[in-house]
Every structure is written in C-alpha cells, then in structure tokens.
Amino acid sequence: MTTAADLAHLNQRRLFPPKVWTALVIAILVMAALPALNLLLPAGSALHVSDYTITVCGRFMCYAMAALALDLAWGYAGILSLGHGIFFALGGYAQGMYLMRAIGRDGTYHSNLPDFMVFLNWKHYPWYWAFTDHFLYAMLLVVLVPGVLAFVFGYFAFRSRIKGVYFSIITQALTYAAMLLFFRNETGFGGNNGFTDFKRILGFDITHPTTRAALYWTTLAVLALMLVVARLVTQSKLGRVLTAVRDAEHRLRFLGYEPLGFKLFVWTLSAVMCGIAGALYVPQIGIINPSEMSTSNSIEMVIWVATGGRGTLIGPIIGAGVINSLKLWFTSVFPDYWLYALGLVFVLVTLFLPQGIVGLVRQIAARAGKVRGAAIGARQNTEGAE
C-alpha cells in the first residue's frame, strides 16, 4: 500500500509534478502556435497575430530566461546580483558582432566595415572582432565571454568570502563600469548607439516573417530547455548543497563542504544562461547598446524574480511576464511615472507577497486543501454516526 510519505518522496524525484507538466505543455503549445497564426492567417482575420505581438512575446521570453538565470543564483544559492545586466548585454554584443559582420556592403558607406567604424575613419576591424563573421564562433563567444567573466570575478569574490549586500554592490559597480566603457567610441562597439540595422542571420533576411518565427521558436525551445536544466540542477544533490549555502553557509563549511566550488558553478551557469538570453534578444529586437548594462535593468531583473517567487523557477518566468506587461501598458499611458510604479510594486511585493505570485497560489491551494479535507472529515464523521 502506498503511503503519503511514499507519494511525497515520488513527487520529489519527479522532474515536475503531473499538474505542472500539464500546465507547461499547454503553455508551450499556445506560445508555439502564435507565429503560425501570424504566418498562415491574413491580417484581417480575428485570430491573426501581428508582427508586433510576436516581437514582444519573443522579447518577454528572453527576459524570462534572464529571470530564471538570476533565480538560480539568488533563489537557490542566496547570491543576490544587482549586475546581471552585464551578462545579458555581453551575450547580446557577441551576437551583434556577428550580425554587423553579416551586413557586408549594405551599409551607408558601402564598406566591409560597419558604418560607425567608417565614420570614425577606422581602416580595419580590431583584433577582438576576428572570426566573428562565423556564426559558430560568435555563439562560442556568447557562452565564453559571460562565463569567463563570471568565473574570474566570482572566484576572487567568493574566495574572499564577500557576500550579502557587499557582493551586490560590487556587481552593480562592475556593470556600471562596463556600461561606461562600452559608451566610448574607441572601444569598437558602436559607442552610445551600439549595434543596429541588422540585415541577415545565417544568410536569411532577419526581418522576414519566417525568420522571425524561427527565432521565436528557437527562443521558446531554449527557454524550455533552460527550465529543465535548472530543475535538474536544483533537484540534485548539488541543489541541496546550494540551498545549504543559502541558508547556513557557516554550518556547511563546518560539516566539511567548501562552498567556493558550488557557488562558483551556479554563478557561472547563471551568467552563461543570461548571455544566451541576450544573444536571442538582439536579432529579435534589432538593437543592442550600452543601456542594456544600466543598473536599472539589473534591478528590474531582481524585481521580476521577487514578484514571481524566488526559489521556484516557474515564478521568475511568470514575474518577468507580469512586470514587463505592466511596463508595456504603463509606459504607453504614463511614461514619466514607470519607475515610481515599479518601486511601488517592489515595496508591495516585499510587504504583502514575500513568496511572490507562486507563493500566493500555493497558500491559496493549501487553504483550499484544508477546507476540502475538513469537509470530507466532517462528512465521514456524520456518516459514521448514522
């Protein structure tokens, strides 16, 4: 006979509970159908999905990846980063370098160099642009640049046992310094304008509806894969150690575990995931500039995670969608007051929803279960008395 303890243990071993699997499959199928409705139905049809909607949904999925990456570090290992925007932007710049090289002679000055380099009278590409005309090499940069930066920075920070608010401030300072560096024209990244006016990706017209649909589906598939990988990590023994690092790092060290390797792994993995999100973001939005490294963007990522539910994986994805949908509406109606509204949302979430949207849903479900259990118990007692 299967006991309640056996069922609980079985649920822990599953990647996702059956209800969550069902919800995920439905959500993925609905999201995957949107580009098909855009391609197959005429613009006048009631079910037609506009190009703008496809672009917005693709952007939101990239934000969801970034939120998921941050939740892996903050929600499970207690590493609060206020500078994850740097990893997102570095992945975007690595992708943007390939896209700029793919323009060829289509630019204003009809040169093999990007227009901003011709304008600055550059004669050739800088050495760090070498081989970026190869897609696979650019994708390697998407993974390596954020990963190596995170590994080196994390190694010295974690070895020095910097954590808490001090670590958060340092990550914010690092991102701000990188933003100032990328704003300079002589760095070879387009200055404050960044990269834009992309033409082709892998030889295909980047503005063609079919190409946009392919980018959208790729983004959806990568988001689903990241969710599975994050779930596998957090459910493994490594995930339990990461939780111990978050809750009782000193006690973990006393038991013989050295937290450095565990923190460094999850920090680097989180940075790589964020870089991949940035790389998928750029071809869909059509621009990457240093403003993506602004501290406000990194703080927004934290708010996405907190709103959805820290340490839940699904929550940050929901939080990214909710906050960015609110931002899309608010900036069109009250554009000057969005930052005030965002601050108010964060305060309200901190005070009244400390476990986020997912935590609220769990509380409601638990209360409903208790009420249902009490009603069943009362019914059984009544039937027994009869």
- Mean of the pLDDT values across residues 177-185? 95
* Whole-structure pTM value: 0.92
Given a cut of 60, whether residue 144 has pLDDT beyond it is: yes
Token couple for 364: 């409601």
The predicted pLDDT at position 68 comes to: 97
pLDDT at 13 over 60: no
Say if residues 360 and 306 touch (Cβ distance below 8 Å): no
Is the pLDDT score of 7 beyond 70? no
pLDDT confidence of 222, banded at 50, 70, 90?
very high
Pairwise CA distance, residues 374 & 328, whole Å:
44
Give the pLDDT score at 115: 86
Query: What's the sign of the alpha-carbon dihedral 46, 48, 53, 58?
Result: positive
Maximum average pLDDT range among 3-12, 45-54, 64-73: 64-73
Q: What is the pLDDT of residue 36?
A: 95
Q: Is the pLDDT confidence value at 268 over 80?
A: yes
Residues 6+ apart with CB under 8 A from 303: 319, 323, 342, 345, 346, 349
Q: How confident is the model at residue 386 (pLDDT cuts 50, 70, 90)?
A: low
* Angstrom distance (rounded) from CA 140 to CA 131: 11
CB 238 within 8 A of CB 262: yes
**In this predicted model, which residue has the larger pLDDT, 1 or 322?**
322
pLDDT at 105: 64
Interval 232-243: pLDDT, tens: 999 999 999 999
Token pair listed for 233: 């990590």
What average pLDDT does range 337-364 have in this prediction? 91
- What is the band of 4 on the pLDDT scale with cuts at 50, 70, 90? very low
- The Cβ-side half-sphere exposure at 8, using a 13 Å CA radius, reads 3
Q: Give the pLDDT band (50/70/90) at residue 161.
A: very high
Q: What percent of the chain has pLDDT over 70?
A: 92
pLDDT digits (tens, 9 = 90+) for 190-199: 999 999 999 9
Please determine, for residue 383, whether its predicted confidence score (pLDDT) is greater than 90: no
pLDDT mean over 144-159? 97
Write down the mean pLDDT value for the chain: 90
